[in-house]
Chain A
Amino acid sequence: MTSSNVSRRGLLRTAALGAGTLALGGGLSACGAGSPSSAADALTYWDWYVTQAPWVDREIELFEKGHSDVSVKKSTQQNAKYADLVALANRSGNPPDVFMIPQVPSVAEQVAKGWLHPLDEWATPQWQSRFPEGTFLEGANVFDGKVYSAPLKGSGPLYQLYIHHGVFKSAGLTNPDGTVKIPRTWDEVTSAAQTITKKSGGKSYGLGFGNADNIGVLAWWLDLFVRGAGAPGGAPTGAGTGMDYRVGKWTYGTDRSYADFLELFVEWKKRGFFHPNSVSLSDEAARAFFERGKFGMTVGGVWNQPEWTQHKFTDYSLVTLPSPTATPKGYYYADPVGNGSFAAVSAKSKKAHEAFQWLDALTSPAAGRRWVQDLNGVSAYPAGNDPTGIDSKPFAAFVGMTRQVLRGPVPLVRNPDLAGVAPGAPKPDISDVVTGIYTGQIKDVQGALSSLADKKFQLLSDAVAAVAKQGKKVSTADYVFADWDPTKPYTTKKKA
């Protein structure tokens, strides 16, 4: 076993060196002439930002102007392979100086493996104080009291319902003043979808999506519609997310909102409201179909907007949390854990000081403001999220929606030892189940939802038990916040 391990490592090292060389080559070619220092001296930086690349490039340009002795060589890696590449680079002992933190393994594991450089010598209390309160969180970006990262993004509503003005106007869905009648409740969405499908004569459908990429698009629909119905866990596909913290469980099987929405969802399909190719369209194709008015409504995130803006398509609106009633019974909740670990300085960096300067620039309030102005999302700094300064109406609407994001319970604040809990994802997961229900492959909706909820809790219990075995005081009760009202902001208290 030992010898085979050695040879495997050797192979991986060679592969990583190759990948590193290629990446460096890519970075070199991406770098323009006139860099202040030679390629060998440059800071290496890895991310997976493609649509956000113009923002990164501008930040590099501004940073290099302010730091004449430092240059940054950016390598944008493929998102799907990013975690593997970072792991290989670290194993080969040749990681980039600064890198966006991959989602796998967990940040806690990356710290334990010694991949990340603690920022303590630079991240002084004064530096930390520029960020909003609660930014630095043990188990998210702080481990054993040492800071390892800082946030770039703030929390906006993860998903929105997009409304095509042209399609709505063609179907006569307008107010007396000529503006588009925006659907805000489940019934209004049903009614609008029916009108569009009926009046377009087969040219347009009320609703549409692109589920072919297996990125969980149908879970987005479930998430958007059930939160406002009072299921605060929603339906994210992450292994440890989507929980209803009032009970510390996944409530797919016990909260009627899930089955009710899925019943309506199937009803929409049966009545022909959805574009017929929705299951086999890619998300990208669905975006193009929406732009061309093939359907009037779709669900997506703010990431849709840069592409439509590039195509000069801005004739749409967006709403979030369409609910059975006019007032939502639940909201989106801020994600201090996910947002807090954006990028890190490599523990192996020979230019750690310069690397921190680059990380500092990327997470500065000015960079955050430009992040918002370039329509990438909302900033970690609330002051940067002012819709009045934004030209794009749809994006300004999105930024305005941050008001609908409340502070919710954060189990990690209560018990930082939960950072080691890493439950696996069941197969099929929620996005698969919704697809099965939509296509009619799953007939027993309630049974499938209950079974999934049980599986998810079992996986969590196993993961908690594994951490408890290591001598840490963790339990599934750490996820229960019985006093939480999902319609109000909640401040998590630390475990006594």
Chain B
Amino acid sequence: MSLLDTRERRRASPPPPPVAVRPGLGRRIRAAKWSYLYLAPMAVLLLAFVVYPIFASFGYTFYRWNGIGAPGDYVGLANFRQILHDGIFWGAVGHTFVYAFVLVPVQLLLALALALVLNNPKLKFALFFRTVYFIPVVTSAAVVGVVIQLMLANFGDSAGSLLAKTGVGDGQIDWLGDPHTALAVIIAIGIWHTLGYNLVYFLAGLQTIPAELYEAAKLDGCGPVQSFFRITIPMLRQVGVVIVVLAFIGSFQVFDLVQVLTGGGPYFATEVVNTYIYHLAFGGSAGAAAQPDIGLASAASFLYGLLLIVFSALQVLALRGISRRRTVANQ
């Protein structure tokens, strides 16, 4: 290729569009100063109660410390070693992942199905149903836990008897006290409790899809199933990614429901990482007798944080991979 050829080509091609010069950081901040002002209280609180404790607690991971007085018993990396060799910790990690990986898909499918029903303009009392499904979300997990625990304590045996009549079990099911059922019951309650969130997100997403697309598809002879897979799902992809990420984040933070319903028992069968950390930090599973160990709790939370970072990185990589494959497939 000669220099002349290049010049000729430049002459022939249209001039490049003018490059927009990005304003400097200071200018951008000044331009959006009100936005930053509104964000400031949240940012300050986040720094004080989330970011600072994360870094502050890292120092405690090197001490054996019951939280009273200044930490003085330096143990180096012993707390990390102890956590890594603790079967209960890994059990708790397993329970947390089971909780998240069962709850999220089931809940999202249910929420999407319900959103599709509630998004139907012909549905009567749609607002009433939306409210009904959202009520559990605004009820605190502690209250939900206490009420359901009382219900199961008083009427759980009736449900067991019903099952026994259908040939399942012997009628003596301790729903939250049996290691075979306790986690499943907590997951079911978790699905019910936070279903409303995802329902609202999906409803919002569905309402952004232009009705013209469905009308055009109908004219082209598409049935409801084809419309769902060819229009609804692709159009919900962006909001769906956000919903999945938020649902996983919420599930990995499960604490209050487990703490109120079972306290992590029986014999750690429902212990999740956050209850495990809580029990280490504020006294163990044997009530007042167990000594709190802030150092161990900090080490456990630090390790769990690392695990979640790895998981999040894998999630991002997976989503990018899927996105790339789709782009290639569409070209």
Contact = CB atoms under 8 A, between A and B. Distances in A.
Contact of A212 (B70, B172, B265, B288): B265
Contacts of B149: 212, 280, 282
14 contacts: A4-B56, A5-B70, A103-B288, A213-B263, A214-B287, A215-B286, A215-B288, A216-B287, A272-B172, A276-B173, A277-B153, A428-B88, A429-B290, A441-B267
Interface string A416-428: 0000000011011
B289 A87 contact: no
Given A87-B69, A277-B152, A280-B266, 13 more contacts: A8-B56, A79-B288, A80-B283, A87-B68, A104-B68, A211-B266, A212-B177, A237-B289, A280-B149, A280-B176, A282-B149, A428-B285, A441-B266
B287 A279 contact: no
A213 B265 CA distance: 9
Given A4-B59, A439-B179, A216 B69 contact: no
A80 B288 CA distance: 7
A84 B67 contact: yes
Interface of B: 56, 59, 66-70, 88, 149-150, 152-153, 156-157, 160, 172-179, 182, 262-269, 282-293
A278 B289 contact: no
Contacts of A276: 157, 160, 172-174
A439 to B, nearest CB: 5
A60 interface: no
B268 A280 contact: no
Contact of B291 (A212, A425, A431, A432): A425
Q: Which of B56, B172, B267, B282 has the most CB of A within 10 A?
A: B267
Contact of A214 (B59, B68, B69, B265): B265
Chain A, interface SS category: loop
B152 A280 contact: yes
B281 to A, nearest CB: 11
Given A214-B285, A425-B290, A277 B262 contact: no
Contact of A429 (B178, B286, B288): B286
A428 B177 contact: no
B150 to A, nearest CB: 8
Contacts of A104: 66, 68, 291-292
B265 A435 contact: yes
A137 to B, nearest CB: 21
Contacts of A436: 266-267
A439 B160 contact: no
B121 to A, nearest CB: 45
Contact of B176 (A8, A105, A212): A212
Given A219-B286, A428-B285, A278 B174 contact: yes
Interface in A240-291: 272, 276-282, 285
Contact of A279 (B56, B59, B174, B282): B174
